[in-house]
Every structure is written in C-alpha cells, then in structure tokens.
C-alpha cells in the first residue's frame, strides 16, 4: 500500500506574486504514522500541506512521490481548517467523492450511509449539510475525506474552531485511522493535540523547516532556540 513513500521534497518553494511564501524546503517523509506540522502563525503550515498535496503550485524544486502524480493524487485526501460543505444532503456529501470516481450512485450511497452511521450522523443523513453545527460539519468533512480510503490524509488544523467534544471525536477517528495504517500529515496549533497524535513533528518557522524529529524528542528537548521559545509560549518571529 505504501509504495508511494518515501515522499521526497527537495528545494521546494511556493511563491505568490513573486514573494516567497515558503521554502526552500528539503524533507523526507516515510510511509508510517502521523506527522504533525507545528509552528507559529504565518510560518507556512497551510502552504506546506498544500504543496505536498499538490494544490499549491511549486515555484521551484520537487515534491516527489514514488508513484506518478495522477495515482498519487487519487491516494490522497485533504481536510480543511474550515470545512467546505457541498450544498447537498449529508449523505450526498459523503457519496460525492465516490461518485466523481465513477462509482454508481447506489454503491456510493451505501458506503455513505455506513460512514454516516460511523460518525453518528445517520439521523441527519437527509438534512442539508450546511445546516449542521461546526463540529458535525468537520466530522462530515473528515468522513468524506476517508470514504475513498486514502493512503495519505492531510488535515489543516482540523479542530481549530471546534469545542472539546467535537475535537475528541475527530481525534478518536484519526487514531483509529492511524492504527488502520492511514498515513496522517496534519498541522495544528494545539500542542496538546500534537502530543496526543504525533509520531514525528515538523517544526516550521518563517517558511523553513527548522526541525524534523520524533515527537517524543521534540517535546522533551527541542533542538533549536525558536522551537524552545515556541514551546514556552513566547512570541516567535
């Protein structure tokens, strides 16, 4: 399954209107566990995830999977900080990724129904997705991302605006997925969440990878001054 790894990023840069957003980034990710990207606001976490996912254009360098780009895209899903709800019912939102991959409406809806059950939304499966609460929407977005059984799941601060209960639901789902072998690459600003989920940590500062290390090591004794300051809660520029 994990034949698409290792993911090798070399000299990658993203630019907007000539200004460098992040990079150059050199990074190698192996095919197991959960990688959590942390760093101060504006350090480029979202851009990095999008760069890896292929939805931000590379200005320079390479992001190299071990399979061709099209297959790589099919094996990935992405969950946004603010969930994007299609203006359809809950069940149609869940079924959508399968339908666009050419599955029949019936099989897609069957899979969608079982996922709705799993995330506790079966009672609402015919309601408009846009009428759900923030927590429900994010759970729906996560289930919609998982329904295609991705090898890699990207999440960009998935519980940034959620309450404790919804956050716990999301985290439990992620832990289950991790146990089942899904590769998780996510960003968060919640250090508690990072500790609960991360196997290894990428610490991003000013668009550069300042540290990439195991989670245990990062939280116990960060190597860089910036990381120490960041973990202490100081303002890092």
Partner 1 sequence: MVDLWDGLVQAVWLMASLDAELADIAARSLYVTLTALVVACALAFPLAAYLAVRRFRARRTIIAILNALMGLPPVVVGLIVYLLLSRSGPFGVLGLLFTPTAMIIAQVLIMVPLIASIAHQSLRDLWQEYHDLLISMNVTQGQKLRTLLWDARRALLTAALAGFGRGIGEVGAIMIVGGNIDNVTRVLTTAIALETGKGEFALALALGFILIGLTIAVNLLIHWLGQTEREGRW
Interface residues with partner 1 (CB under 8 A)? 53, 55, 73-74, 77-78, 80, 84, 86-89, 96-97, 100, 126-128
Q: Which residue has the tokens 């303002």?
A: 235
Question: At closest approach, how far in Å is the CB of 80 from partner 1?
Answer: 6
Closer CB to partner 1, residue 131 or residue 221? 131
DSSP letters along 179-231, please? HTT-EEEEE-S-HHHHHHH-SEEEEEETTEEEEEEEHHHHHHS-SSHHHHHHH
d(CA 158, CA 45): 13
Question: At closest approach, how far in Å is the CB of 73 from partner 1?
Answer: 5
d(CA 11, CA 58): 10
Question: At closest approach, how far in Å is the CB of 87 from partner 1?
Answer: 4
Closer CB to partner 1, residue 24 or residue 54? 54
C-alpha closest to that of 5 among 65, 45, 75? 65
Sheet holding 7-16, edge to edge: 19-29, 7-16, 60-64
DSSP H or E run through 74 = helix 69-74
d(CA 92, CA 53): 24
Question: At closest approach, how far in Å is the CB of 133 from partner 1?
Answer: 17
C-alpha closest to that of 153 among 189, 118, 188, 178? 178
Question: At closest approach, how far in Å is the CB of 68 from partner 1?
Answer: 13
State the DSSP code for 236. Answer: -
Question: At closest approach, how far in Å is the CB of 144 from partner 1?
Answer: 9
Closer CB to partner 1, residue 40 or residue 97? 97
d(CA 60, CA 105): 41
Question: At closest approach, how far in Å is the CB of 225 from partner 1?
Answer: 35
């Amino acid at each position: 399954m994990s034949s698409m790894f290792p993911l090798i990023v070399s000299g990658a840069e993203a630019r907007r209107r000539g200004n460098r957003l992040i990079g150059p980034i050199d990074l190698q990710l192996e095919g197991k566990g959960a990688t959590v990207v942390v760093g101060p606001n504006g350090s480029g976490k979202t851009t990095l995830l999008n760069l890896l996912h292929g939805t931000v254009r590379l200005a320079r360098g390479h992001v190299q999977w071990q399979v061709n780009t099209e297959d790589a895209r099919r094996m990935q899903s992405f969950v946004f900080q603010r969930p994007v709800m299609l203006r359809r019912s809950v069940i149609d939102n869940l079924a959508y990724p399968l339908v666009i991959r050419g599955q029949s409406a019936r099989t897609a809806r069957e899979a969608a129904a079982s996922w709705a059950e799993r995330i506790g939304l079966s009672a609402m499966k015919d309601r408009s997705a846009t009428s759900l609460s923030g927590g429900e929407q994010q759970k729906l977005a996560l289930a919609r991302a998982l329904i295609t059984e991705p090898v890699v799941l990207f999440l960009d601060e998935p519980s940034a605006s959620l309450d404790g209960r919804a956050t716990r639901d999301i985290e439990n789902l992620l832990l289950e997925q991790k146990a089942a072998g899904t590769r998780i690459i996510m960003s968060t600003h919640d250090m508690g969440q990072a500790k609960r989920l991360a196997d290894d940590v990428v610490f991003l500062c000013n668009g550069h990878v300042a540290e990439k290390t195991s989670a245990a090591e990062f939280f116990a004794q960060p190597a860089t001054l910036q990381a120490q300051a960041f973990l202490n809660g100081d303002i890092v520029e």
